[in-house]
Chains A and B, each alone.
Chain A
Amino acid sequence: MKRTTAIMAATAALLASTGLARAEGELNIYNWGNYTSPEMIKKFEDAYKVKVTITDYDSNDTALAKVRQGGSGFDMVVPSQNYLPIWISEGLLLETDPGKMENFKNVAKEWVNPEFDPGRKYTVPWAMGTVGTVVNTDVYKGDINTWDIIFKTPDELKGKVNVVPEMTDVIDAAVLYSGGTKCTGDLAILKKVRDTLVAAKPNWVAMEYGTIEKMGSGDFSASSDWNGSAFRQRLKNPAIKYGYPKEGFVNWSDNLAVLKDAKNVENAKLFQNFMMDPQNAGMNSGFHRYANGIAGSDEFMPADMKGAPEIEVPAEFAALGVPSQTCPPEVQELYTKIWTELQK
């Protein structure tokens, strides 16, 4: 009898608590895997009594394909800057006008009016960084500041290299490696790109997103990767170093937007504003280990982020970075074809 009562009480409590969460609202965020600070989400949940659900994706194309089909049920998404114009022109994003939100004053000057979202009509900065190489220097002692790691893999790394399957990152790297400029439509260069990629692939062991875990555990000894991910790998194993390829590398940013078919628009707007608070942005950086574009967030980040070689591009490499941008559709189509051929 006592037990039944206890169970009934527990059920009632459970119903009440879920009912409460429902009443206050939900927020469904569709974001890159391993990219959102759980601690920060908890803070948001507690502050606004909102239940946050995060679903992962592993590439811009996956996210775009899924949301474009409609009925995804997500409220927010974090596309890279080169995909943003597609999201906007395809009518997938809601114009929430973050430029007019209370915390917008905290956005760092260079991110206030970016080319990919003029006047910040749709997005707030989430994180920004570079695309380079990570190498376990216990396995390979040579120069890591080159795309040779991926495209002309040294013997020590053959069969141990991973490539993160983000189409534009991989093709951009191959374009720069082949002596082209970003978004080139030069067929001679692109043919070289295709041949380079196809010839390089047999030396790769996998094309996976989860490098933080698998580099740390020794399943991969090198990979193409993003700087924040490289930082987290170094924290697991000090021998893992991030390389800035001398052939050139891409500077990117990811930005938080609200979907047009979002069901929890008000909560999504609250979250956009929340993310522009230096303390919250700093907390998030402490997790994903990228810069975040919010002025004054540094003081809320872990001390080891200051001067970290992954975050602050060393002076000798700084000039090699090229901004990520959306390529014209006909070039993009060629990229997609090369990518499909590589993936098969």
Chain B
Amino acid sequence: MTGVAGTIEAEKSRDIRKRWLLSLPALLIILIAATGPLLIVLVYSFLTPGPYGDVQWLPSPDGWISVVMEKDIFDGTFSLADAHVSIFIRSVVLSLATTVLTLLVGFPTAYFIATRPEKTRELWLFLITIPFWTNLLIRTFAILEIIRNEGLINGLMLKFGLISKPVQMLFTDGAILTGMAYVYLPLMVLPLYASMEKLDFRLVEAGYDLYATPFKVLRKIIIPLVKPGVVAGSILVFIPALGAYVTPSILGGGKNLMLGNLIELQFGQGRNWPLGSALSITLMLIVMVALLVYVRNAGSQGSRHG
């Protein structure tokens, strides 16, 4: 090893050490603020529930078992916890539906904004962010006011004689879907716009010049090019929707639970913290798997185009 090379090596390792030291505060915060509580949740999921909530320090697999199995209170037989399974399925289906709905509404919106003259785009974007100024709770109650039995929609339909008695919209899965789509729409529009803004519209024109139909242009040119935006938007909508709590609890009436409500129930009235912890971790695992599948798919497609 010559002198010069040695100094470079030393320089390099010092540089690396410095980088680690610089990122140490952030790493520590992540470790303490994210990993720590998660570990507590993990430990709790293997303990015994206390009589009025809390946990007793007795190891037990019951929390995890009751995620998928349930023991009959009276005859002690085990069966599939169909209540949990149906809540899981409802959560996933509603979240997927929310994602699709926001995509269907958000895509044209983002396209519209991206095709405005540069000067006015900011105004349109600004309009998209306005809902964020209002608290989530208030926005959800606004939806409630619109769809309730004596609300705006039923009131107008009754007035014009379209229906003879109010249609039950509140406290249905449809109400939860509408609420979530409304609440999460900006999260879809913004990443979509970000990638559409970079779209080279000369390619679109070229497509038309070559006699492509508008649908073909959309499918062959626009969608492949804005795919990163679609992926980012879908992730941003799907994940919070899966764990949504406020919207299903207000618009679902406390009867049509989603995962977030089921978890909350275990820490409150259910007095079963271990089950609540096990459910939380299950939710996290579902999110992680969904993310991995999504990112992997998006990644491989991206490289194919590259």
Chain B residues numbered 191-227 whose CB sits less than 8 Å from any CB in chain A: none
Residues of B near A218 (CB, < 8 A) are 149-150, 166
How many inter-chain residue pairs (CB < 8 Å) link A and B? 88
**Assembled-state Cα–Cα distance A187/B270 (Å):** 20
Mask for A145-177, Cβ within 8 A of B = 1, else 0?
000000000000001101001010000000000
> Which stretch in B35-43, B123-131, B179-187, B261-269 binds the other chain?
B261-269
Q: A338 near B73 (CB under 8 angstroms)? A: yes
Residues on the A chain within 8 Å of B83, using CB:
341, 344
State whether B148 touches A167 (Cβ < 8 A): no
Evaluate contact between A219 and B73: CB separation under 8 angstroms: no
Q: Does B139 contact A (CB under 8 A)?
A: no
Please, how many angstroms separate the alpha-carbon atoms of A272 and B284 in the complex? 46
**Is residue A343 contacting chain B, with contact meaning CB distance below 8 A?**
yes
Q: Which residue from chain B places its CB closest to the CB of A341 in the assembled complex? A: B73
B52's partner among A68, A159, A162 (CB-CB below 8 A) is A68
Q: Which of B51, B150, B168, B254 contacts A208 (CB 8 A)?
A: B254
* In contact, B74 and A68 (Cβ under 8 angstroms): no
A254 to B87, CA, bound (A): 34
Q: A194-B73, A208-B254, A343-B270 are in contact. Are A219 and B149 (CB under 8 A)?
A: yes
B255 lies within 8 A of chain A by Cβ: yes
User: Quick check: is A59 within 8 A (CB to CB) of the other chain?
Assistant: yes
Q: How many residues of A contact B (CB 8 A)?
A: 39
Chain B residues numbered 249-290 whose CB sits less than 8 Å from any CB in chain A:
252-255, 257, 262, 265, 267-272
Q: Per-position contact with B for A78-110: 1 when CB-CB < 8 Å, else 0? A: 000000001000100000000000000000000
Nearest-neighbour CB distance to chain A for B149, whole angstroms, equals 5
Question: Is residue A307 contacting chain B, with contact meaning CB distance below 8 A?
Answer: no
Which label, helix, strand, loop or mixed, suits the secondary structure of the A interface?
A: helix
**Contacting B271 at CB < 8 Å: which of A61, A165, A187, A338?**
A61
B74 and A194 contact, CB distance less than 8 A: yes
The residues of B that contact A320 with a CB separation of less than 8 Å are none
Asked whether any CB of chain A lies closer than 8 Å to the CB of B62, the reply is no
Instruction: Tell me the minimal C-beta distance from A169 to chain B in angstroms.
Output: 12
Docked complex Cα distance between A126 and B251 (Å): 32
Q: B166 contacts A329, CB within 8 Å?
A: no
State A329–B74 Cα separation when bound (angstroms): 17
A62 and B148 contacting across the interface, CB-CB below 8 Å: no
Residues of B within 8 Å of A17, CB to CB, are: none
The answer, yes or no, to whether A43 is at the interface (CB within 8 Å) is no
- The answer on a CB contact under 8 Å between B148 and A217 is yes
**Interface residues in chain B, defined as those with a beta carbon under 8 Å from any beta carbon in chain A:** 51-54, 70, 73-74, 83-84, 87, 148-150, 166, 168, 170-171, 252-255, 257, 262, 265, 267-272
Can you sample 17 A-B contacts with CB below 8 Å?
Answer: A64-B52, A65-B53, A65-B269, A165-B254, A205-B171, A205-B253, A206-B252, A208-B253, A218-B150, A218-B166, A219-B170, A219-B171, A334-B73, A337-B73, A339-B269, A340-B269, A343-B257
Nearest 5 A-B pairs (CB), nearest first? Answer: A206-B253, A344-B83, A61-B269, A207-B254, A65-B268
